[in-house]
Amino acid sequence: MTHAAAIRGKARELLQTGQVECVLGYETGSRGRVRPAFIYRPEEVERLVWNQACTHNLTTYLPAKLRPTKPGQTPRHVAVVVKACDSRAINVLLAENQFTRDQVHVIGVVCDGIVEGAGFERIPESGAAPPPALQRRCQRCDDRVPLVYDTRIGEPPAEHPLAENLPGDAELDRLEAMTPAERAGFWLAQFDRCLRCYACRQACPMCNCPTCLYERDDSLWVGMGIGSSEKRTFHLGRAYHLAGRCIGCDECERVCPMNIPISLLNRKLAKEIELAFGYRAGLAPVPGPLVTVLESGEVKP
Amino acid sequence: MRVLSRAELGAWLDALAVEKALLAPTEVESVVLYRPVQSSAEIAPLQGNASRPVLSIKEAFFPPTERLLLIGKTTGPGNGTGGQFRLRETLPEGEQIVFGVRPCDARGMRALDALFLHTQPADPYYARRRENTTLIGLACAEMGPSCFCKSVGGGPDDPADVDLMLTETDKGYVVQTVTEKGRTLLAGLELREIEGEMPRSALNEPVPIPDMLAWPPHFQDAFWEQSSERCLSCRICAYVCPTCRCFAVRDEALPSSQGEECYERIRCWDSCAGDAYRRIAGGHNPRPEKGQRLRNRYFCKFYYYPQQYGPVACTGCGRCIEACPVNIDITEILAHLVTG
């Protein structure tokens, strides 16, 4: 059975039995491009697909989809298709109490990596020559199997790729080799293209503040202008807010219409966090957010 | 037909760049954008159907952020009370030339003009830039995969909205003079007269465009909510669009010493896709749902804007199709309106 058929079968079962109100998965949209799909009825499950263009991190839709629509409503339940990277986001969202574990049926797909151009181009045929290149994040990824799931689609690989065989992060190495002044120059040149369209923030599962600090009408910290100081403040501030929370799906970078290497900032901070605290975001649901874990004796608010 | 060779075109642009600000498609970190250039060597490749810049020429007339006023305060005598506020309008200065303008972007100026110039009162900032800008168009040899300019009244070689139109041939660039401004720009330039046929641009299959009357019955269509579920509520579609022209205005503090102008009034791009776009004083948001916002985007382009200002607010450039991270495709929306 193909992964797509397995996903459809599970989705049909979950909808027929009323375990979930909606299944968040992938479908083929216009121009052969893969896009997120919201499936509500068993007869719609045939729309669901799985291939190496399923790039979107669908967990970004979960908090809104699971929030009560009226006071006193019984908890809502949805199913979501995730890759290994996306599954780490579920762990972070759970740790941050965005929803409870029982509200989400996680359909975890064993992933062979996502290709460049996914979401923006026609799905590459399997067996196409030359095979499309994997996204750089996938070339570096050592998690093929989702870390959290209720239903697993696909068999875990017999041989797990070893971390030492994976390519390093050449962009990060280049950034770290720069002097602070060179680094500042590099980032200011990148942020110069930013339009404050907020696509990076909107695509990010961790950017779920009800009102973004950088978009408050009454904010005295960041002006409304689309100028260099506002753009720098937005990007650096967002990076700090994601430190210890970013799970590296790199959707922020994929969606940026200006090709700003946003995820490079996040990777740098993730590396610093790992060095300082031995912590990687999303590996387990148990620990709370990095800087707010309450040790024994500390009182919960 | 009068033509300029590739080398002559380069030399001409080099000379223009000395006289005036010259904006041209430039590759910045693999993104093509209109940027000021000092010489023609900085211009991104133009041959054939080189991809259009990610942003339209809109930003040359309606920049992402623009200062409208400086606000200062004079202190009164004695204890400093009784001072007055002083406002100073800051109109844009200087002439500019935009080179490599695609016909879709030029047509977008019609939609912008309808609001900013032809609806009273005219917008003085926009009007000043419009008056001081010359557009050198470049015909597309063929339509790109997401282009549908021909279906919304334009065309890949339509010279109607530029001052000068260039069309690439194997003998050089054919020059068409469209306006007096264009003629002035050509002054002193030797053009070669050659025999031949004007090349025709290759066209795509037309995209069905609904009649205006088709829109109102779809106001309550569940389609909007369904199509908007995947929408991220980002602003890419509006910001890459040659005709989206919404903005927000705010007064912000300037770093300044006492007695000088200490506030500026700015306007910045805004987008009806953002969830706070319609939020009003007191916090009420009359358009809180994504489906309502998506509906507004397309009703505005094809129904509200034509009704209020005349032109359809879409030039078929296809940028929103290419830039949307979740495949919200304007041609799919239009097809739904056509087939019901």
What local confidence, expressed as pLDDT, does residue B83 receive?
76
Q: With 60 as the cut, is the pLDDT of residue A163 above it?
A: no
| 10-residue averages of pLDDT along chain B (340 residues) | 94 95 93 95 77 92 96 73 84 96 97 97 97 96 93 96 95 95 92 88 92 96 97 97 96 76 92 90 91 98 97 97 97 94
Tokens linked to B143: 């339509």
Does B252 contact A at CB distance below 8 Å? Answer: yes
CA distance A222 to B92: 25
Give the residue from A288, A293, A290, A280 showing the smallest Cα distance to A85. A280
pLDDT of residue A289: 65
What residues contact A63, with CB distance under 8 A and at least 6 apart?
Answer: A93, A98, A99, A208
Determine the angle formed by the axes of helices B290-299 and B330-339, rounding to 10 degrees.
Answer: 80
Angle between helices A180-191 and A228-242 (to 10 degrees): 110
Cα separation, B119 vs B98, in Å, equals 25
Would you call B268 and A224 a contact, using CB atoms and an 8 Å cutoff? yes
* Across A63-85, average pLDDT: 93
> Which residues from A are below 8 Å from B239, CB to CB?
195, 197, 257
**Cα of A252 to nearest chain B Cα, Å:** 10
Tokens coding B244: 């989206």
Chain B within 8 Å of A120 (Cβ-Cβ)?
yes
- Residues of chain B with Cβ-Cβ distance to A197 below 8 Å are 234-236, 239, 271
Pick from B240, B250, B269: CB nearest A226: B269
Please, are residues B294 and B328 in contact by the beta-carbon 8 Å criterion?
yes
- B254 and chain A in contact, CB less than 8 A: no
For every residue of A128-159, DSSP letters joined together read -SSPPPBPHHHHT----S-SS-SEEESPPPSS
Chain A: residue whose CA lies nearest to B234: A199
Contact criterion met (CB < 8 Å) for A38 and B230: yes
- Within 10 angstroms of residue A42's Cβ, the number of other Cβ atoms is 16
Coil, helix or strand for B30? coil
Strand B65-74 versus strand B261-269 pairing type: antiparallel
Adjacent-strand bridge partners of B291: none
Q: Which residues of A touch B229 (CB under 8 A)?
A: 36, 38, 61
**How distant is the Cα of A131 from the closest Cα of chain B, in angstroms?**
22
Contact (Cβ atoms closer than 8 angstroms) between residue B142 and residue B156: yes
The whole-model pTM stands at 0.94
Q: What is the pLDDT of residue A132?
A: 85
Q: Is B118 at the interface with chain A, CB within 8 A?
A: no
**Residue A41, both tokens:** 């009825």
CB contacts < 8 A (A, B): 106
ipTM > 0.90 for the complex: yes
Nearest to A226 among B64, B322, B332 (CB): B64
- B289 in contact with A at a CB cutoff of 8 Å? no
- Residue B275: list chain A partners with CB under 8 A: none
B246 touches chain A (CB under 8 A): no
- Verify whether the Cβ–Cβ distance A119 to B327 is below 8 Å: yes
Which residues of chain A are within 8 Å of residue B244 when distances are taken between CB atoms? none
- Residue-level pLDDT at A219: 67
Inter-chain residue contact A225 with B252, CB threshold 8 Å: yes
Residue with tokens 């264009």: B182
| Chain B residue closest in CA terms to A258 | B31
In sequence order, the 6+-apart residues with CB closer than 8 A to the CB of B80 are none
Distance CA A237, CA B183 (A): 50
Q: CA separation (Å) from B263 to B2, B73, B105? A: 52, 9, 34
| Nearest residue, CB atoms, A30 vs list B33, B230, B331 | B331
Give dist(CA B62, CA B245) in Å, integer.
8
- Whether the Cβ atoms of residue A56 and residue A35 lie closer than 8 Å to each other: yes
- Strand residues in chain A grouped as ranges (E): 22-28, 34-39, 48-49, 78-82, 104-109, 151-153
Distance between CA atoms of residues A19 and A150, nearest Å: 13
* Bond prior to A130 in cis (omega within 30° of 0): yes
What average pLDDT does this structure show over A267-276?
Answer: 93
> What confidence score (pLDDT) does residue B282 get?
87
E strands, chain B, where? 2-4, 21-28, 31-37, 65-74, 84-89, 96-101, 133-138, 164-169, 172-177, 192-193, 247-253, 261-269
Q: Which of A146, A145, A148, A165 is nearest to A156 (CA)?
A: A145
Would you place residue A301 in the very low, low, confident or very high pLDDT band (cuts 50, 70, 90)? very low
Contacts of A117 (CB under 8 A, 6+ apart): A53, A132
Containing H/E element for A188?
helix A180-191
User: 177-216 in B: which are within 8 Å (CB) of A?
Assistant: none
Domain boundaries, chain B: 2-276+284-339
Q: Is the link from the previous residue into B121 a cis peptide, with omega within 30 of 0?
A: yes
Using the Cβ of A186 and the Cβ atoms of chain B, whether some distance falls under 8 Å is answered with no
Whether pLDDT at A300 is above 60: no
pLDDT band at residue A272 under the 50/70/90 scheme? very high
Assign A129 a pLDDT band (cuts: 50, 70, 90): confident
Mean pLDDT of A188-209: 96
Count of all residues that appear for chain A in the document: 301
Taking the CA of residue B176 and the nearest CA in chain A, the distance in Å comes to 33
Quickly tell me which residue has 């007191």 as its tokens.
Answer: B282
Three-class SS state of B231: coil
Facing B235 at nearest CB: one of A34, A197, A224: A197
Tell me the one-letter amino acid at A266.
N
Strands B247-253 vs A34-39: parallel, antiparallel or unpaired = unpaired
Most A CBs within 10 A among B27, B29, B207, hence the mutation to make, goes to B29
pLDDT at B24: 97
Query: What's the token pair of residue A240?
Result: 């700090």
**Chain B residue numbers touching A25 (CB-CB < 8 A):** none
